[in-house]
A and B are shown apart, each in its own frame.
Chain A
Amino acid sequence: MSGPQDPNFVEDDAVEELPLQELPLDGWHRAKGARMVGFAGYHMPIQYEGIMAEHLWTRDHAGLFDVSHMGQLSLTGEGLDAALEAIIPASIASLGVGRQRYSMLLDEEGGILDDLMVSRRPDDIYMVVNGATKYDDIAWLLDQFPDEITINLMDEAALLALQGPEAAMALARIVPGVDRLFFMQCAAFTWNGHPLWVSRSGYTGEDGYEISLPAEAAAAFADALCAMDEVKPIGLGARDSLRLEAGLPLYGHDLTPDISVIGADLGFAILKRRREEGGFIGYARVAKELAEGAPVRRVGLTIEGRLPAREGAEIFVGKTRVGTITSGGFAPSLGAPIAMGWVDAAHAAIGTALEIEVRGKRIAATVAPMPFVPHHYHRQKS
C-alpha cells in the first residue's frame, strides 16, 4: 500500500526545507493521542480518534480545534481605516467595535492572495490570516501600508476554535457572557485572570467561537473545555471535511491567485459602497466581473456513487475539459462524496451534469448549491 496521497497534507503546504515548528499545544495534542502531520509549517494534529467520529461529534456536540498556526495580526496607527480600505475590499469605515467581517487580500489583477477575518477592537484592528500565507501577507501589507501603520504578528498568542451546537453552552460555563454574542460579533473576556478575545464565528458551518489567548494559558484552557462532557478535541482532518460540507473555501486549494472574488463566489464580502466606489487593490477585476460575470466559477459538486474525487481531478462535459476539482472528499454527515471545483461559467449553473475523471474512469457529478449541509450560525434577528 502506498502512503496516503493527500493533497492537503504534503509538501505543498509545508514551508520548504524548514524544520516544522511546534504549536503552543504540541505536547497537549500528543498527550491526547493525536496523530501529528506537517501542515502550514507546523506539526499539527490531523486526528485523535478518527476523522469520521470527530466530524460527527462536532455536528452534534462541541469540538475543540487548535488553529494557532494561523496568523493573528494587530494593526494600529494613524489613518488605519483608510489605509486598510485601500488594500482590502471590506468596509472598514462602517466596522464597529466588536464586529467582524470576512475579507481577502487581492493582487493587482484581482487574484486572491489570502482570505481573512478582520475585526475592530477598542485599541486596534485584529486580523486572522491563513497559517501557510501569514509571512507573505505581512510582507504584502508592509509594502502597501504607509509608515504610520504598525503590524504586530501576535506569535505569543494561541488561537482555539470551539464549534458545534453545544459550544455556546460549554464555553459560557467557564466564560460567562459569551452566549450574548451573535454570529460575527466579538469581545474581550477573561478566564482565570488571562485575557481572551472571543469572536462568535468559525469554519465548520456550526455555531461556535474562536478564542485568542496567551499561549501559556492555552493548555489549561483546553483542559477546562475538554473536561466537559460536550467537548472533544478535533483534528485538521475533520476541520477539512466540516468546512467542505459547509461550502467554505480553503485557501491554497479552492482559492488562489488564479481565481477572482466574483469567480470564487465571495462577492457577498464586498458591500454596496465598496462595489460602487472601489478604491482597493484589484477593484478593476471586481467591477468588470460584477457587470459581466466571471469566466470561471467556484461551484459545489455532488457525486454519484461512493468514489471520492480529489483535488486536481479534471472535470469534463463530453470530450471538453471544463474545469478542475479544487477540494473533494467524503462527507461524513451526508454519507457521500462531495467536492468543490472551478468550472467554466457556461457549465456552472446549479443542476448542470458534469463528469469527473478519476484514475481513467468518468464519474457523474452535478453542480449543487452550497452549503451541502445547512449552516447553523447564531445570527442576530433583524
Chain B
Amino acid sequence: MSRYFTEDHEWIEVDGDVATVGITNYAQEQLGDIVFVELPEEGKSFDKGGDAAVVESVKAASDVYSPVSGEVIEVNGALEGEPALVNSDAEEEGWFFKLRLSDASELETLMNESAYEKFVASL
C-alpha cells in the first residue's frame, strides 16, 4: 500500500485499484473543530480535482476534492455520528470515502509523504 498527498491537503492510500481518501492532519488543524461532513453518494464518479465532499467546522465550510478520478464504492458512515473523528484521527479513522481508481497513472502527479511534509513546512 502506498500513500499520496495533494497540495489541497487530501491524502489517498492505494491498495490495488481501491483507494481511501481523507484530509490531512494539517488540514484538520487549520479547520478547527469539525461539526459536519457531507460525504458523496456511493456509485458517484469524480474526475481528478472534482468536488467530492464538504467539511464544516464551527465557523466555515470547505470543499474536499477527489485526488484522482474514480467511482465511490464506500463512505465512512462513522463520520455522520461523530464528525470530530476527523479532528482526532484525520489520517486513519477519520477517512472520508473509498474510490475505485479509473486511471492509476494520475497517482504519479501526487506527492509522497516526505514531499508533502516539505510542502507543509513551506506554507
* A interface residues with partner B (beta carbon < 8 Å): 1-6, 8-9, 46-47, 50-53, 55, 237, 240-241, 306-308, 310, 329-330, 332, 337, 359
Contacts and interface: CB of A to CB of B under 8 A. Distances in A.
B1 interface: no
B62 A3 contact: yes
Contact of A52 (B23, B36, B58): B58
The size bracket of the interface on B is 20 to 34
A240 B23 CA distance: 26
B31 A51 contact: no
Interface in B31-51: 31-33, 35-36, 38
Nearest to A8: B59
A308 B9 contact: no
A327 B58 CA distance: 12
A53 B9 CA distance: 24
Contacts of A9: 59-60
Given A1-B55, A4-B31, A359-B54, A310 B61 contact: yes
Chain A contact residues, majority secondary structure: mixed
User: Which 10 pairs across A and B sit closest by C-beta, in order of nearness?
Assistant: A4-B60, A6-B60, A52-B33, A330-B35, A2-B63, A51-B58, A306-B36, A1-B9, A330-B58, A1-B8
B54 to A, nearest CB: 7
Contacts of B60: 4-6, 9, 310
A51 B33 contact: yes
25 contacts: A1-B8, A1-B23, A1-B27, A1-B62, A3-B62, A4-B59, A4-B60, A4-B61, A5-B61, A6-B60, A8-B59, A9-B60, A51-B33, A237-B58, A237-B59, A241-B59, A308-B35, A308-B36, A308-B56, A308-B61, A330-B33, A330-B35, A330-B56, A337-B36, A359-B54
A29 B82 CA distance: 31
B120 to A, nearest CB: 13
B88 interface: no
Nearest to A336: B35
A241 B35 CA distance: 13
Give the residue among B10, B61, B64 with the most A Cβ atoms within 10 A.
B61
Contacts of B62: 1-5
A26 B64 CA distance: 32
A329 B58 contact: yes
A361 B56 CA distance: 15
B76 interface: no
A52 B35 CA distance: 10
Given A2-B62, A4-B62, A306 B35 contact: yes
A237 B30 CA distance: 13
A1 B36 contact: no
B32 A359 contact: no
Tell which of A9, A240, A308 has the most Cβ of chain B within 10 Å.
A308
Contacts of B63: 1-2
Given A1-B9, A4-B61, A4-B62, A307 B32 contact: no
Interface string B8-37: 111000000000000100010011110110
Given A306-B36, A330-B56, 6 more contacts: A1-B9, A1-B10, A51-B57, A308-B35, A308-B61, A310-B61
Interface in B60-95: 60-65, 83
A9 B58 CA distance: 13
Nearest to B64: A1
A6 B59 contact: yes
B31, B32, B54, B57 pick with most chain A CB within 10 angstroms:
B32
Contacts of A6: 59-60
A58 to B, nearest CB: 14
Contacts of A3: 62
Contact of B36 (A2, A55, A241, A307): A307
Contacts of A5: 60-62
A277 B89 CA distance: 62
Contacts of A308: 35-36, 56, 61
A1 B65 contact: yes
Contacts of B35: 306, 308, 330, 337
B59 A240 contact: yes
